Structure 1
Amino acid sequence: MPIAQDPLSVEVTLPRADVALLTVEGYLDVDTATEFQHHLANQLHHGRRHFLLDLSAVPFMDSSGMNIILRVYQEARELPGSVHIISPPRRCAASWI
């Protein structure tokens, strides 16, 4: 029987016009990574080039979540921009460590 997960919650705050603070809550895995990617893509589309990712309420992140973060990091660097992770989860996929 699969383990029940809380849905992913992403709150976006705009401290400055070119900065997006994304506060993420819930599991960031293969089932929720696409939703997280949509939030990041929307912010890029609206001209944000600096990202603060608050992951303090993410109990687990697998390689799908890491892949999304790496992709937005690569895109932001080309702008030029930046990605900063606040309080990364202690449990990440072992294959990425």
Structure 2
Amino acid sequence: MQKLGLATQAHGGTATVQVVGEVDIATAADLRRSVSATMREHGPWLVLDLTRVRFMDSSGLNVLIEVHKECKEQSGHLALAGPQAQVAKVIRLIGLDKHVAVHDTVAEAVTAVDAHRVLPAEAEETSQLN
């Protein structure tokens, strides 16, 4: 039985989930559960660290798409960090990179997600201007 390594770390208001191993039909549900728990605890501003993912099939890609949709529905943002060449190629082939930003490093991805956050005071100021 395959095991997927998952670790969550908070960076201010953005959470990072480090994924280690292969994301396939045997492990995709574990990834989904971990990401859902992370979003419940930390909110919908999320980075998935894919630097140590060796393989991802359509089950894993479906999880990425579901997570992206869930983040958007909750006014959050998802970014992917450091996918290896094989995983990055699959992400590009299905066009996911046109909807979810893919960054070389976790730090870049966290910065990008943080840039999409609107603090309550900023949202109030923006609504007063309109």
Query: TM-score, normalized by length of structure 2?
Result: 0.63
Q: Which structure would you say has the larger RCO, counting Cα contacts within 8 Å and 6 or more residues apart?
A: 1
Is 2:19 the counterpart of 1:24?
Answer: yes
Give the alignment partner of residue 13 of structure 1, picking from 6, 9, 12: 9
Larger Rg belongs to:
2
Q: Percent identity?
A: 26
Report how far residue 88 of structure 1 moved: 1.6
Match of 2:37 in 1: 42
Aligned residue type for 1:8: L
Contiguous gaps of at least 5 residues in structure 2: 94-130
Query: TM-score, normalized by length of structure 1?
Result: 0.83
Contiguous gaps of at least 5 residues in structure 1: none
Structure 1 or 2: more helix by fraction? 2
Give the alignment partner of residue 77 of structure 1, picking from 56, 72, 89: 72
* Alignment RMSD: 2.0
Do 2:15 and 2:42's aligned partners in 1 also have CA atoms closer than 8 Å? no
Runs of 4+ in structure 1 deviating by more than 6 angstroms, as ranges, are none
